[in-house]
Amino acid sequence: MLAWIAQRIAFALLFLISAAVFGTPGHGAGASLSRSVSDSPWLNWWDSGHFIDIAVHGYRTPDQTVFYPLYPLAERVLGRLDGGNYLLAGFIISNLACLLAMLAFRMLARVDLSLSSARWALGFFTFMPTALYLAITYSESLFLMFAISALFAIRRSSWLPAGLLTALAALTRPVGLLLLIPLAMASIAALRKRPPDLATVASWALAALLPLLAVGGFVADMGLRFHSWRIPIEAERLYYGRYLDLPWVGVSQALSVMVGQRQSPGARINAAYDLAISVATGAATAVAASVRQLPTSYAAYSLAGFLALLMLPMHGYPIGEDLNGLPRFLMLLFPIWLGFAAWSEHHLWRRLLVIAGCGLGFTTSVMFFGHAPILM
pLDDT digit string, tens, across residues 288-337: 777 888 899 999 999 999 888 888 888 766 554 667 667 677 778 899 88
Q: Taking the complete model, does pTM exceed 0.85, yes or no?
A: yes
Q: At what angle do helices 265-289 and 347-369 cross, to 10 degrees?
A: 150
336, 284 contact by CB (below 8 A): yes
Range scoring the smallest mean pLDDT among 7-21, 56-70, 234-248: 7-21
Question: DSSP character for 313?
Answer: -
365, 313 contact by CB (below 8 A): no
φ/ψ region of 44 (left if φ > 0, alpha if ψ in -120 to 50, else beta) reads: beta
φ/ψ region of 315 (left if φ > 0, alpha if ψ in -120 to 50, else beta) reads: beta
Residue 181: CA atoms inside 13 Å, Cβ hemisphere, count?
16
Q: How far apart are CA 155 and CA 292, in angstroms?
A: 16
Range scoring the smallest mean pLDDT among 206-210, 221-225, 339-343: 339-343
Distances (CA, A) of 287 to 280, 300, 333, 340, 348: 11, 13, 13, 7, 17
Q: How far apart are CA 175 and CA 215, in angstroms?
A: 11
Tell me the backbone φ, ψ of residue 242, rounded to 5 degrees: -95, 125
pLDDT in tens, 125-140: 887 777 878 888 899 9
